Amino acid sequence: MKNIRFALLTGLGLLAATSLRAQTEMSSFSIVGRGGVANTFASDYQAIGVNPANMARMNNAVVAFSIGEGGVGISSQSLTRSQAWRFLRNSDQALTKADKLELAQAFTSDNTFNFNADVTTVAVSASFPVLGSFAFSNRQRMVGHMGLNKNAAEILFLGQEAPIYANYNPATSPLITESLAGTTFQGTWYNEFNFAFARRLVTLPLFRLSGARATAIFRAWALWTCASSRARLRPTALCRRCSILTTAK
C-alpha cells in the first residue's frame, strides 16, 4: 500500500493535462489572453504557430529573437475555483482532517487535474525587403492528465488514515487493480522544431496579400499512460524516438 501512495504522490507532481488546440501558443506573451484575435497580434517568430504569413507585415522588426519564453496552464473539472485557489495558495499551511476529507472528495473525478506547459527555448526571425521573412523556433511541450477514483484520492490526502489502507486485510481486501479502478495518469513531452518562410505577394494602396510556408518536426521525449480497471493495470512504456513531420502553407 505504501507503494500505491508513493505512485499517486509522484503522479500528482508529474502528470496532468489539458487538450491542445490550434492557434494556442502559451509560450507567446503577445498572444496570451487575446482570445480569438491571436491572428491580429502575432508577429515575428511568434506567428509561426498561429499565422506565419504575419511575418511579412511591414511593421515587423528586422531581427527578433527570444530565449526561455514560456507559459503554463492548469485546469480541473472537479475542483471549484475556491478549492483550487486554497489548495495552491495555502501550500505552506497544515491541512485539517476536514480539509483533507474535502479535498479527497473534490479530487475524486475522471477529470481531476490537467496540466499544459509550453516553453520556447530559442526563437529567431529575420525580415528582408526583397527576400522575405525567415523564422526558426524550438519548443518543449508538456501535457498531462490525471483522474482519481475514491480510494486513490483518499490515499493521496489521508495517507494511512484512508479507509482502504486502515482496514486492509490480505485475506479479504480487493486487488490493487480493483481498488484503483478508474484511476488514470496520462502525459506527453515532445520536442518541436519549427521553420517558416513568408513573403509579401501583393502590395496595393488599400490591399496587401502575404503568403507563407511552415514546417514543424515533432520528436517525442516521453509518452506515458497508466490506467487501472477492475481487470488489470495497464501502463505504457516511454517512447524516446518518435518523429512527426508536418507542413502547412
Asked whether the predicted pLDDT for residue 124 surpasses 70, the reply is: yes
| pLDDT at residue 195, as a whole number | 94
> For residues 68 and 29, is the Cβ–Cβ distance under 8 A?
no
Asked if residues 31 and 41 have their Cβ atoms less than 8 Å apart, the reply is: yes
Beta strands in 105-206 (DSSP E): 109-128, 132-148, 184-204
Place of cell 518541436: 192
The pLDDT assigned to 1 comes to: 43
The pLDDT of 184-193, averaged and rounded, is: 89
Q: Check residue 115 and give left, alpha or beta (phi > 0: left; psi -120 to 50: alpha).
A: beta
Asked whether the beta carbons of 219 and 196 are under 8 A apart, the reply is no
Q: How far is CA 242 from the centre of its chain?
A: 18
Q: pLDDT band at residue 121, thresholds of 50, 70 and 90?
A: very high
Which position has the higher pLDDT, 66 or 249?
66
Q: Is the pLDDT of residue 125 over 80?
A: yes
Mean pLDDT (whole number) for 201-223: 86
- The pLDDT value recorded for residue 126 is 94
For residue range 94-108, list pLDDT tens digits in order: 778 888 888 888 889
Query: pLDDT tier at 38 (50, 70, 90 boundaries)?
Result: low
Provide the grid cell at 133: 521573412
Q: Is the pLDDT of residue 92 over 80?
A: no
Nine cell digits for residue 201: 505577394
Helix 97-106 crosses helix 81-89 at what angle (to 10 degrees)?
130
| Average per-residue pLDDT for the chain | 77
Residue 239 pLDDT greater than 60, yes or no: no
**Helix, strand, coil percent content, the chain, rounded in steps of 5:** 25, 40, 30
Q: For residue 77, how many other CB atoms are within 10 A of its CB?
A: 11
Rounded CA gap, 116 and 114, in Å? 7
The reported pLDDT for the residue numbered 60 is 81
Rounded distance, CA 127 to CA 58, Å? Answer: 9
Average pLDDT of span 18-35: 54
- The pTM of the full predicted model, rounded to 2 decimals, is 0.67
